[in-house]
Structure 1
């Protein structure tokens, strides 16, 4: 990439930041965002790597991508224990989770896509391979890595409908960037075809499957879930409705379901609410408190061991407000709650193992859904709203095996929950079909890591594929 083009991009980035600076400043003050890591972000002052072993730089933009990398990092350690692995992220929540989850590796904020910052970061890290999770097309970062002698790959590549339409409008620019990639490990055939239509080299594009299938826990008796159930006092007689990755007004819909169902003569129903964005924790807490239903905050339950959760920026302030209307700072485990607000980051995957019925949020609004593989892997009878465009392939597969249900509105959500609670044979069959699908699709991590290893061994993508076969 030419220096002129790089500096044109620098100018565009600077202009965007200047225009957005009032919003950035307001969010920094109001929500605690964008306060950390500016040396790395603006100047590329990332940790200096020592040693001469091959280095894999893995980049995950936020929490979801950080979790996604878990199986890849484990498989890299198994196949190539001599390689160094470093992890970068963009958001504060992603950085906090990565520091906990990958404490044995170097974790840092990724530089913004200014040419000088990217070049400085590459000089300090000296990566052999830059691996971008899902879709992170930053022209200056990719160009700096290539100039530094690194191979560049996208893993678990996906292109939503909106992303594909947006990239097609600037196809000449996108094709220029995609043409520098040595490997695009796509989730499915449709995504692979889209990358090629945008200008990726056909020989660099391969379908390896979705890493999310491999990362999904299938054992409800895993230690983390067992510990969380003990902490929350969830007994064998309880029935649990979990609504995960929610946005407004999905929490309100779930509360209405709880009110309606709780009056029926059936086993006690408890509701666990996990909002998608930490900045909404306090908003959802106020909503729950206004109902008068006994409730608790996850962040204030005591007695957890080996906790990987990360508290929200508002936790320090909200902890003084108490739990469930109490003025105390924390509450003992086994509280008498009917609604539990999970106001920490990084636990949703384990909480799904405690659910008897599940709803995946972000699907009644405009966000396009969230990951429904986690409840599916546990065999949770799961539903979601009609807007799941960002997970279209996974939804298609689940619906094809009758492993999940689409609910059109709040009334259908209530009908689904009632049936799942009343007809245990039906809900068990629904969940088992979903779990069987997840198990049948696993193996993407091994295929992906074998192709990455092939890049560092100097093989072509085709050669690596032949060895993996």
Structure 2
């Protein structure tokens, strides 16, 4: 039966359909995932005698944060079926990479349903989850309503609410309070998030401050498997492997966003004056921007080598014509970071809107590298607070400041090494949130068994 949410969504879909139907690329993306988002799930996700837990991670970042939690839950509770749902294409691809080939006990991977009654009912009827776990936060009114009707508890882990998201939810008034009030538990990253969840209707007794799981997913190590092969294949001779005397210093700019690459390239040209052997690798955050970033590199007068199409160039290493490396593959950012002398973590130099303020600097810090970020890091406020307190990260206010600080770190090896050492200490000290979240899930599962 249709409800007010279905009618509202239907009207919105009808009004916006000309936009995505006329946009070929968007149309293909929407239609490709539509069948799965209408509640069609693979047979292995179908209900059986085992209780099921549906763990929803919207996209790549949430999935990476939850991967250790998902594996630990599978180890501790082999009697439970785990189903992982995602919304985005990159999240679905990453879930398939992480869990797609693990045998009979591996998690099933599905698309999160559109928030219409029929897709939600179809998905819940087929999977019959005993518990739904939302990573960070993804509340939809219809989904919450149908879970409540089926008496399926819904909990949040690694919960986070930015100031902007908080303001938007508050605009929903009673609707937001109904959704948040239906949560079985909310395990959040810090006290600020706890206050926001409470203001939106989560009763205090259902709130837990459990920290961020992102620290747990970051492996503390100096080298990453496969980094030397990557360097060979794209024509790098990194000092991180060959030593400063024989190798080239490498500046890696990871998870960059629109507008940042051009600023980075301008600073790279400036840095080549003082550091003529310096090489640059850029790894954009979103795959759909790879071609755009290649064009930006060429527009600044540099040759480019794409990771997906490695080739060697006749240009002498260290000259102004040395090619910029474009990391255009998925899952290799840590390899690039492992080869770096200095790392800039992107989506932080340009204001891209609060939903995109900052990228994960924790995995770079865990490798013991000096890390530089811009002024826009609001999505990682808790991690930034920890790094700031230990003086373990460099924050810059502008592109020129970025170039100055990178030059300083390339010149002052003792400072760079000390920053890396402090960063590793912060990551090590902040680990443990995954086990705390896992205990909350196990408690909730035990509660469902008694229902």
Normalising by the residue count of structure 2, what TM-score does the alignment of the two structures yield?
A: 0.88
Q: CA deviation at 1:265?
A: 5.1
Question: Which residue matches 1:355?
Answer: 340
Counterpart selection for 1:18 from 11, 14, 19: 14
Question: Which residue matches 1:420?
Answer: 409
Q: Is the 8 A contact 1:269 1:338 kept in 2?
A: no
Q: CA deviation at 1:444?
A: 0.7
Question: Which residue matches 1:171?
Answer: 173
After TM superposition, the runs of 4+ consecutive aligned structure 1 residues lying more than 4 A away are none
Question: Which residue matches 1:278?
Answer: 287
Further displaced range: 200-209 or 285-294: 285-294
Output aligned runs, 1:185-334, within 5 Å: 185-235=187-237, 236=242, 237-264=247-274, 268-301=277-310
Question: Which residue matches 1:405?
Answer: 394
Name the SS of the counterpart of 2:369 in structure 1: coil
Task: Assess, with a 3 A threshold, how the Cα gap between structure 1 residues 147 and 354 changes in structure 2: closer, same or farther.
Answer: farther
Question: Which residue matches 2:33?
Answer: 37
Question: Which residue matches 2:82?
Answer: 85
CA RMSD of aligned residues (A): 2.4
Q: CA deviation at 1:99?
A: 1.1
Q: CA deviation at 1:24?
A: 2.2
Name the SS of the counterpart of 2:32 in structure 1: coil
Question: Which residue matches 2:364?
Answer: 375
Q: Is the 8 A contact 2:225 2:335 kept in 1?
A: no
Counterpart selection for 2:56 from 56, 59, 66: 59
Q: Distance in 2 between matches of 1:31 and 1:214?
A: 38
Q: Distance in 1 between matches of 2:302 and 2:249?
A: 17
Normalising by the residue count of structure 1, what TM-score does the alignment of the two structures yield?
A: 0.85
Q: Distance in 2 between matches of 1:27 and 1:98?
A: 27
Q: CA deviation at 1:292?
A: 3.7
Q: CA deviation at 1:234?
A: 3.5
Q: Distance in 1 between matches of 2:338 and 2:27?
A: 30
Query: C-alpha deviations, 1:33-66, integer Å up to 9, x for none?
Result: 2232212323x22234142112111111112122
Task: Assess, with a 3 A threshold, how the Cα gap between structure 1 residues 101 and 143 changes in structure 2: closer, same or farther.
Answer: same
Q: CA deviation at 1:98?
A: 1.2
Q: Is the 8 A contact 1:28 1:35 kept in 2?
A: no
Q: Distance in 1 between matches of 2:24 and 2:420?
A: 42
Name the SS of the counterpart of 1:223 in structure 2: coil
Q: Is the 8 A contact 1:220 1:354 kept in 2?
A: no
Question: Which residue matches 2:351?
Answer: 365
Q: CA deviation at 1:282?
A: 0.8
Q: CA deviation at 1:142?
A: 2.2
Q: Distance in 2 between matches of 1:214 and 1:265?
A: 36
Q: CA deviation at 1:145?
A: 2.6
Q: CA deviation at 1:115?
A: 1.4
Task: Assess, with a 3 A threshold, how the Cα gap between structure 1 residues 276 and 54 changes in structure 2: closer, same or farther.
Answer: same
Q: CA deviation at 1:224?
A: 4.2
Further displaced range: 29-38 or 145-154: 29-38
Q: Is the 8 A contact 1:174 1:198 kept in 2?
A: yes
Q: Is the 8 A contact 1:183 1:204 kept in 2?
A: yes
Question: Which residue matches 1:445?
Answer: 434
**Which ranges in structure 2 are unaligned for 5 or more consecutive residues?**
315-320
Task: Assess, with a 3 A threshold, how the Cα gap between structure 1 residues 39 and 32 changes in structure 2: closer, same or farther.
Answer: closer
Name the SS of the counterpart of 2:114 in structure 1: coil
Name the SS of the counterpart of 1:86 in structure 2: strand
Task: Assess, with a 3 A threshold, how the Cα gap between structure 1 residues 27 and 396 changes in structure 2: closer, same or farther.
Answer: farther
Query: C-alpha deviations, 1:198-222, integer Å up to 9, x for none?
Result: 1002111101110101011221323
Q: CA deviation at 1:82?
A: 2.1
Q: CA deviation at 1:273?
A: 0.6
Query: C-alpha deviations, 1:63-101, integer Å up to 9, x for none?
Result: 212222211111112221221111111112221221111
**Which ranges in structure 1 are unaligned for 5 or more consecutive residues?**
303-322, 326-335, 461-469
